[in-house]
């Protein structure tokens, strides 16, 4: 059986490979490297094969963002499930997911995707919908303005990392993570 026949029988595998190749290209070479031809070549399919799964480059980017958001959701949900204190549990999970992700490949993928988030309204809307949904879902435990401030601080660190030469801005290590976590527990020392 040749590889073309195998691929036809496994469209989910090909689709997953295309998303993974787009993510890898974005992480390794930046957002500008994510072209239809580059992704198709990296995945070992023709441009037509890519268009069979995604109607456009934009549709591929939406799938990539959706995939990253699903991974972030899974990470946050796992962290929330281990949190014994209801108050601030989503915010603590958001902080911890961010600082854990900074050490993984997905951080480079998020960094590359953030360029697209800034320039593409539909991707920005996907991000905003995710934020709005999470905020609504956790309003009882994380609706307080001080917790929103912590989440916005994390977003600011993400942006500062994106703008820095080495991908990590300022004092963004364990001390900062602990300080932000402390703020979710009312240990504000400002």
Round to the nearest angstrom and report the end-to-end CA distance of the chain.
66
For the segment 147-171, the average pLDDT, to the nearest whole number, is 82
The string of pLDDT tens digits covering residues 32-91 is 888 999 999 999 999 999 999 999 999 999 999 999 999 999 999 999 999 999 999 999
For the segment 142-163, the average pLDDT, to the nearest whole number, is 90
pLDDT value for 1: 46
pLDDT value for 10: 87
Alpha-carbon distance 190 to 74, whole Å?
Answer: 32
Mean of per-residue pLDDT scores for the chain: 87
Q: How many CB atoms lie within 10 A of CB 66?
A: 14
CATH number of 1-55: 1.10.10
The string of pLDDT tens digits covering residues 112-121 is 788 788 888 9
């Amino acid at each position: 059986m040749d590889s073309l026949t195998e691929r036809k029988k496994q469209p989910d595998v090909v689709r997953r490979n295309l998303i993974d190749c787009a993510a890898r290209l974005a992480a390794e070479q930046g957002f500008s490297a994510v072209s239809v031809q580059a992704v198709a070549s990296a995945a070992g399919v023709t441009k037509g094969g890519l268009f069979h799964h995604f109607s456009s480059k934009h549709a591929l980017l939406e799938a990539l963002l959706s995939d990253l958001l699903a991974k972030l959701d899974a990470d946050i949900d796992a962290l929330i499930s281990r949190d014994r204190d209801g108050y601030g549990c989503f915010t603590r999970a958001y902080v911890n997911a961010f600082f854990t992700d900074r050490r993984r490949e997905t951080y480079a993928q998020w960094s590359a995707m953030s360029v697209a988030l800034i320039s593409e309204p539909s991707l920005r809307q996907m991000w905003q919908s995710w934020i709005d949904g999470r905020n609504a879902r956790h309003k009882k435990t994380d609706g307080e303005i001080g917790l929103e401030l912590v989440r916005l601080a994390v977003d600011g660190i993400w942006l500062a990392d994106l703008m820095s030469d080495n991908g990590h801005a300022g004092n963004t290590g364990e001390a900062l993570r602990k300080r932000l976590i402390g703020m979710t527990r009312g240990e504000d020392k400002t």
